[in-house]
Structure 1
Amino acid sequence: MLVDMAVFTPWSALAGGALIGLAAGLFAVANGRIAGISGLLGSLLQSGGEGRDEKVCFLLGLTAAPLLWQVFLAMPQVHFSTAPWSLMVAGLLVGLGTRYGGGCTSGHGVCGLSRLSPRSAVATLCFMAAGFATVFVVRHLLAGT
């Protein structure tokens, strides 16, 4: 994925981060639960989960936000420099990792670290290290193959 640095502004990134923090905080205060996206989505796929309406609204808000953004400003051009199959494999591996790790970047990295959870700190270090190692292997060791 390439980001056009000519149109990147740190202010939009800061505003996005603040909105993510605000949404996670409001979700925790209103529901007493962590706003981990993989956990929310996973619980919606199971029958008989409680708080279904709130979870659906939260996830719909995540998907509606970029659509609302397009009403006011053009979306940045995104270009993936990899094959579609590798993105699917990566998505599958991330999904498996969130199940084995008991959460994802939003659950551990945003909500867990803000609560000073040692478990979330270890999980965040593990998935960041795995990401760094994956990029190194793919970009430097497998680049010529």
Structure 2
Amino acid sequence: MNQVIDWISQPWPWYVAGPLIALVMFSMLFFGKSFGLSSNLRTMCSILGAGKSCDFFDFNWRDQMWNLIFATGLVLGGLITHLYLSNDQPVHISASTIAELQSYGIENPGKNVVPKEIFNWEALFTLKGFIFMVVGGFLVGFGTRYAGGCTSGHAISGLSNLQPASLLAVIGFFIGGLVMTYFILPYLLIL
């Protein structure tokens, strides 16, 4: 039993995770569904009555109940993983990345999934924390709405459906990620 838990608690290799994602996508295509996590937020807003004041949220949310069940599974899966499958092993990142992050004031890069120096309640009330969490969250939400979906919706579902708009969105996501990583993030980390 311990061997199974050890195997499950490690990141799955691409040759296991990739075919599983493909199987899910083929199943969704077969049943005429499209995948995207941002649509769950739209559904939740519609359930809470946002359709009364905004046409974007005015749709039959009952047709999207399967998506909410999927989102519930994500939360429960994350909870089970955190409680029962987590280990104390550091995140494996290269020595050069560790050195660079330390030069920006991150004390133990790789010890946690996200740097505790930036992502904690106390940091939220600093300029750096506000920019990362509040401004960054706003930009993610705005970008998701402006692009007509999130990275998972476009990159997994949209590209699987051969949608040209998703290809453009994914190209934009990658360009934005590269610009952020190399030109903006270093300056934000030294604030």
User: Deviations along 1:83-136, whole A, 9 cap, x unmatched?
Assistant: 542123212101100101111111111111122221110011012111211122
Over the matched positions of the two proteins, sequence identity in percent amounts to: 30
Residue 4 of structure 1: aligned partner: none
Residue 30 of structure 2: aligned partner: 29
Matched, 1:62 2:74: yes
Q: How does 1:69-88 map to 2 (within 5 A)?
A: 69-70=81-82, 72-75=84-87, 77-80=112-115, 81-82=117-118, 83=123, 84-85=129-130, 86-88=132-134
Q: How does 1:38-117 map to 2 (within 5 A)?
A: 38-47=38-47, 48-70=60-82, 72-75=84-87, 77-80=112-115, 81-82=117-118, 83=123, 84-85=129-130, 86-117=132-163
SS at the partner of 2:46?
A: coil
Alignment TM-score, normalising by the size of structure 2: 0.59
Structure 2 residue runs of 5 or longer lacking an equivalent are: 1-9, 48-59, 89-111, 124-128
Q: How does 1:123-134 map to 2 (within 5 A)?
A: 123-134=169-180
Give 1:24 shift. 4.0
SS at the partner of 1:62?
A: helix
Alignment TM-score, normalising by the size of structure 1: 0.74
Structure 1 residue runs of 5 or longer lacking an equivalent are: 1-8
Give 1:58 shift. 0.9
CA-based RMSD: 2.6
Q: Which moved more, 1:18-27 or 1:122-131?
A: 18-27
Larger Rg belongs to: 2
